A and B are shown apart, each in its own frame.
Chain A
Amino acid sequence: DAGITQSPRHKVTETGTPVTLRCHQTENHRYMYWYRQDPGHGLRLIHYSYGVKDTDKGEVSDGYSVSRSKTEDFLLTLESATSSQTSVYFCAISGDRGIAGGETQYFGPGTRLLVL
C-alpha cells in the first residue's frame, strides 16, 4: 500500500466549530487531493494541490479551505462545520504525469466526519 494516512479516522463535532483533517504521505508525490463521498454522489473533488503552496478548487469547494506547506502534508479545514458536511473524506495522492504510473491515484483509508 502507498504510504498515505489520514487523521483523525473518525470525528464527531458540532455545527459551527472548526475542523481540520490531515493527510500525510511518505511517497513524495507531487499531487494531493481531497474528496468527499456521499451516498448517490460517488466521490466529489473538494480541493487539490499540484505542489507545495499550490492549490486549486474542485467541484464542491464551498465551505472548505486547504493548505500545503510541505510535500508530505495536505490539510483540509472546515472553517465552520455544517450538517451538510457530514461525510466520508478521502485523501489521494498521485505522481508526475510524465512517468509511468504517474496518473494512478492512491487513496487513504478515509475520515468519517459527523456534524451534529
Chain B
Amino acid sequence: SQQGEEDPQALSIQEGENATMNCSYKTSINNLQWYRQNSGRGLVHLILIRSNEREKHSGRLRVTLDTSKKSSSLLITASRAADTASYFCATDATGTYKYIFGTGTRLKVLA
C-alpha cells in the first residue's frame, strides 16, 4: 500500500491542552497537507507545507516536516471542543498528480 500512517489513531484530551498527531509517508513528495473531517462531512484543507520547508504556522496550528525521516507532525495549541474531528495528512508524490492520504487521527476534545 502507498498509504501513509498516522499516529495515534485516536487521541482524547481536555479543552485547553495541546494535541499532537504524526504522519509518516513512503515516497519523495512535493508537499504535505493536513485536512480535517467532521463526522459525516467532506474534508477541509487546513495547511500545506512544501518539501523545502521545515515548519509552518497558521493560527493555532503548527506543522513540521522532516523529509529525511519522511514524517510530519501537526500541533493544535489550546484545543477547543470544536476541534473534535478526524485529521488526515496527504502527500503529493513527486512527479504525479496523485494525493495519498493517511489513515487519520480521531481527536476528541473534552469540554
**Is residue A35 contacting chain B, with contact meaning CB distance below 8 A?**
yes
The answer to whether B45 touches A105 (Cβ under 8 A) is yes
> Residue of B at shortest CB range from A112?
B40
- Digitize A34-71: 1 where CB-to-B-CB distance is under 8 Å, 0 elsewhere: 01000011111100101000001011000000000000
Q: How far is the CA of A92 from the CA of B100 in the complex (A)?
A: 13
**Secondary structure dominating the interface of A:** strand
> Known contacts A41-B103, A42-B88, A43-B88: does B97 contact A104 (CB below 8 Å)?
no
B41 contacts the other chain (CB 8 A): yes
Known: A42-B3, A42-B102. A103 touches B33 (CB 8 A): yes
Q: Give the size of the chain B interface in residues (CB under 8 angstroms).
A: 25
Does B101 have its Cβ within 8 Å of any Cβ on chain A? yes
Q: Which of A50, A58, A109 contacts B42 (CB 8 A)?
A: A109
In the complex, per-residue mask of A82-116: 1 if CB is within 8 Å of any chain B CB, else 0: 00000000101000010000011111111000000
B residues within 8 A CB of A97? 30
The DSSP consensus for interface residues of chain B is: strand
Q: A90-B43, A109-B41 are in contact. Are A43 and B101 (CB under 8 A)?
A: yes
Whether B78 sits at the interface, judged by CB under 8 Å, is no
- Residue-wise interface mask of B (15-45) relative to A, using a CB-CB cutoff of 8 A (1 in contact, 0 not): 0000000000000001101010000111111
**Can you pick out 13 interface pairs between chain A and chain B where the beta carbons lie within 8 Å of each other?**
A41-B3, A42-B103, A43-B43, A45-B98, A45-B99, A45-B101, A56-B97, A59-B1, A97-B30, A103-B30, A104-B33, A105-B35, A110-B40
11 extra A-B contacts, CB within 8 A, seeds A42-B102, A109-B41: A44-B3, A44-B101, A45-B98, A45-B99, A56-B97, A90-B43, A103-B48, A103-B92, A104-B45, A105-B35, A105-B43
Chain A positions within 8 Å of B, measured between CB atoms, are 31, 33, 35, 40-45, 48, 50, 56, 58-59, 90, 92, 97, 103-110
The 8 closest A-B pairs by CB, nearest first: A107-B42, A42-B103, A43-B101, A107-B43, A104-B45, A42-B104, A42-B101, A50-B97
